[in-house]
Amino acid sequence: MLDSIFTQYDRVVVLDTETTGIDCRRDEIIELAAVAVGPQGIEDEMDLLIRLTPGRRLPPVIVELTGITEQMLADEGVEKAQAAERFAQLLQAPRTMMAAFNAQFDFTFLYFYLARLGMADCLKNLGMLDILTVYKDRRPYPHKLKNAIESYGVAAENSHRAVDDAMAALLVLEAMREENDDLMQYRNLFGFNPKYGVSGPRIGSIHYAPQKYDPELPLYALYAHI
């Protein structure tokens, strides 16, 4: 399992979101999935479709990418507050770390989603880990989740459904730990493409550092971080 992380944390929550677009301030989460892992293995899981705000439409490109339709959200989705409360339950361990592949995207969406409901405080004092930042240090370009799945040979699929992608990210993270257990060195450290800068608003607890495609040293060896 994730040995080094569990020396300082009681639980790791690996999550993924599907959204109506890429603007975390304006777009909405339509699927939220997470896997909560403790020292003994998986402790809890969630996967919820979330209803759209009344009057909102789902862009055709999102339907094509995810297979999620407006009818699915209407028939199977839950209200935003219900999904938020279920997710907050996963963060109630005394010491929790959140992780995701391309965490900057998911975590900023999650913050604005919870803030609109007055629940953003549940994100305070969490450790944060970007699996993509670790992957960029270990493998050459390209750096999508499907590339990580193939590179580490894990039994998972990058389906663009949150439940599958969250589990895939967890399996990749576990494979990374087996390869080199330096994951705690990446806590609260997110790499970004120096050509384009940080995507979206910065998270206050995160140290951001420019990251090369083919680095000679791991990012944490080049930049002091929190």
Residue entry with tokens 């009818």: 71
Q: How far apart are the first and last CA of the chain?
A: 24
Q: Regarding beta strands 29-38 and 41-49, do their DSSP bridges make them parallel or antiparallel, or are they unpaired?
A: antiparallel
Residue-level pLDDT, tens digit, the chain, 226 residues: 788 999 999 999 999 999 999 999 999 999 999 999 999 999 999 999 999 999 999 999 999 999 999 999 999 999 999 999 999 999 999 999 999 999 999 999 999 999 999 999 999 999 999 999 999 999 999 999 999 999 999 998 788 899 999 999 999 999 999 999 999 999 999 999 999 999 999 999 999 999 998 888 999 998 765 4
Q: Rounded CA gap, 44 and 192, in Å?
A: 31
Indicate whether this model's pTM tops 0.85: yes
Contact by Cβ (8 Å): 165, 131? no
Element spanning 80, H or E: helix 80-90
Nearest to 31 by CA among 206, 214, 161, 195: 161
99-119 as b/e: b if 16+ CB within 10 A: bbbbbbbbbbbbbbbbeeeeb
